[in-house]
């Protein structure tokens, strides 16, 4: 059987396309669906922008999600009052009007999340479940 150059080129393109599809599908990591049950607990802020928080020596800043309420603490002291929150797709929305804040979830797993809040990126690690 004689294979023409165009047929060989077409077969090569199909092979390359198939390999790209396989690579793309295997490189996607399935993230758990963000629910109130999965987010419940305390989350330690480990990075703000490019800065590791442990290198700053400012103490531990913690977000806590419990009973549909959002708490923030710094060095063991609660900041402000607990705020109600809801999960909407890839966002955590907390506060009451007119002071509502959107936390955009960039990446999420049961142990770690990367978020964007008012233009700043933070990375948090879960330190306990509720």
* Domain architecture of the chain: domains with CATH: 36-128 (2.40.128.280)
Q: Which is more confident, 129 or 23? A: 129
Cα separations in angstroms, 127 against 40, 65, 73, 109: 11, 12, 14, 13
pLDDT tens track for 103-126: 999 999 999 999 999 999 999 999
Average pLDDT of the residues in 68-74: 95
pLDDT of residue 7: 59
Residues near 52 by beta carbon (within 8 Å), at least 6 away in sequence: 46
């Amino acid at each position: 059987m004689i294979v023409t150059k165009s047929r060989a080129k077409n077969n090569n393109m199909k092979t390359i396309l198939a390999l790209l599809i396989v690579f793309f599908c295997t490189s996607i990591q399935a993230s758990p669906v963000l629910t109130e049950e999965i987010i419940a607990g305390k989350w330690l802020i480990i990075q703000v922008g490019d800065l590791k928080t442990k290198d700053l020596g400012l103490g531990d800043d913690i977000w806590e999600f419990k009973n549909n309420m959002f708490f923030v603490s710094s060095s063991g002291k609660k900041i402000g009052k607990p705020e109600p929150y809801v999960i909407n797709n890839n966002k955590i929305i907390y506060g009451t009007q007119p002071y509502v804040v959107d936390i955009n979830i960039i990446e999420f797993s049961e142990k770690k999340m990367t978020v964007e809040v008012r233009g700043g990126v933070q990375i948090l690690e879960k330190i306990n479940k509720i």
